[in-house]
Amino acid sequence: MAAPEKGGSRATVARGRTITIDGKQVGPGEEVSLPPAEIAQLRKAGFLTTPGEAELPRGDGPVFSPSEGPTVKVA
Protein backbone atom coordinates (compact mmCIF):
# COMPACT_ATOMS: atom_id res chain seq x y z
CA MET A 1 0.00 0.00 0.00
CA ALA A 2 1.17 3.47 -0.77
CA ALA A 3 1.40 6.11 1.88
CA PRO A 4 -1.48 8.55 2.14
CA GLU A 5 -0.88 11.56 -0.01
CA LYS A 6 -2.26 15.07 -0.05
CA GLY A 7 -5.35 15.26 -2.20
CA GLY A 8 -5.92 11.52 -1.88
CA SER A 9 -9.40 10.10 -1.61
CA ARG A 10 -10.87 8.81 1.64
CA ALA A 11 -12.63 5.51 2.14
CA THR A 12 -13.77 3.22 4.97
CA VAL A 13 -12.42 -0.29 5.57
CA ALA A 14 -15.16 -2.90 5.09
CA ARG A 15 -16.53 -5.03 7.91
CA GLY A 16 -14.48 -8.18 8.45
CA ARG A 17 -11.46 -6.77 6.57
CA THR A 18 -8.10 -5.31 7.57
CA ILE A 19 -5.58 -3.55 5.35
CA THR A 20 -1.97 -2.59 6.00
CA ILE A 21 -0.65 0.84 5.09
CA ASP A 22 3.06 1.45 5.68
CA GLY A 23 3.19 -1.35 8.26
CA LYS A 24 0.17 -0.05 10.20
CA GLN A 25 -2.93 -2.26 10.44
CA VAL A 26 -6.20 -0.45 9.65
CA GLY A 27 -9.31 -2.31 10.75
CA PRO A 28 -13.01 -2.36 9.90
CA GLY A 29 -14.83 0.96 10.12
CA GLU A 30 -11.65 3.04 10.09
CA GLU A 31 -11.10 5.68 7.41
CA VAL A 32 -8.06 5.67 5.15
CA SER A 33 -6.67 8.19 2.70
CA LEU A 34 -5.17 6.66 -0.44
CA PRO A 35 -4.69 7.51 -4.11
CA PRO A 36 -7.93 7.13 -6.12
CA ALA A 37 -6.56 4.20 -8.18
CA GLU A 38 -5.78 2.17 -5.04
CA ILE A 39 -9.17 2.94 -3.53
CA ALA A 40 -10.89 1.73 -6.69
CA GLN A 41 -8.86 -1.50 -6.67
CA LEU A 42 -9.53 -2.17 -2.96
CA ARG A 43 -13.25 -1.45 -3.39
CA LYS A 44 -13.42 -3.90 -6.27
CA ALA A 45 -11.71 -6.54 -4.10
CA GLY A 46 -14.18 -5.89 -1.23
CA PHE A 47 -11.73 -4.36 1.25
CA LEU A 48 -13.26 -0.87 1.21
CA THR A 49 -16.90 0.14 1.30
CA THR A 50 -18.50 2.29 -1.35
CA PRO A 51 -20.50 5.16 0.17
CA GLY A 52 -24.23 4.80 -0.47
CA GLU A 53 -24.05 1.13 -1.51
CA ALA A 54 -25.10 -1.78 0.65
CA GLU A 55 -22.29 -4.02 1.88
CA LEU A 56 -22.18 -7.60 0.72
CA PRO A 57 -23.66 -9.86 3.39
CA ARG A 58 -20.99 -11.77 5.25
CA GLY A 59 -21.51 -14.53 7.78
CA ASP A 60 -19.59 -14.91 10.98
CA GLY A 61 -18.75 -18.49 10.06
CA PRO A 62 -20.30 -21.77 11.04
CA VAL A 63 -21.72 -22.30 14.51
CA PHE A 64 -21.60 -25.73 16.11
CA SER A 65 -23.30 -26.97 19.23
CA PRO A 66 -22.21 -30.09 21.11
CA SER A 67 -25.36 -31.98 20.09
CA GLU A 68 -25.07 -31.09 16.39
CA GLY A 69 -21.30 -31.10 15.96
CA PRO A 70 -19.03 -33.97 14.98
CA THR A 71 -18.72 -36.87 17.38
CA VAL A 72 -15.84 -39.20 18.13
CA LYS A 73 -16.52 -42.73 19.28
CA VAL A 74 -13.79 -44.82 20.84
CA ALA A 75 -14.04 -48.51 19.98
pLDDT (tens digit, 9 = 90+) per residue, 20-36?
999 999 999 899 999 99
The whole model's pTM is what?
Answer: 0.63
The domains of the chain are located at 9-49
Query: Residue 75's pLDDT band (boundaries 50, 70, 90)?
Result: confident
Q: Which CATH architecture has domain 9-49?
A: 3-Layer(aba) Sandwich (3.40)
- Cα 39 to its chain centre, rounded Å, is 13
pLDDT (tens digit, 9 = 90+) per residue, 46-66?
899 877 777 666 666 777 677
CB atoms within 10 A of CB 34: 22
How would you label 8-32 residue by residue, b for 16+ Cβ within 10 Å and e otherwise?
bbebebbeebebeeeeeebeeeeeb
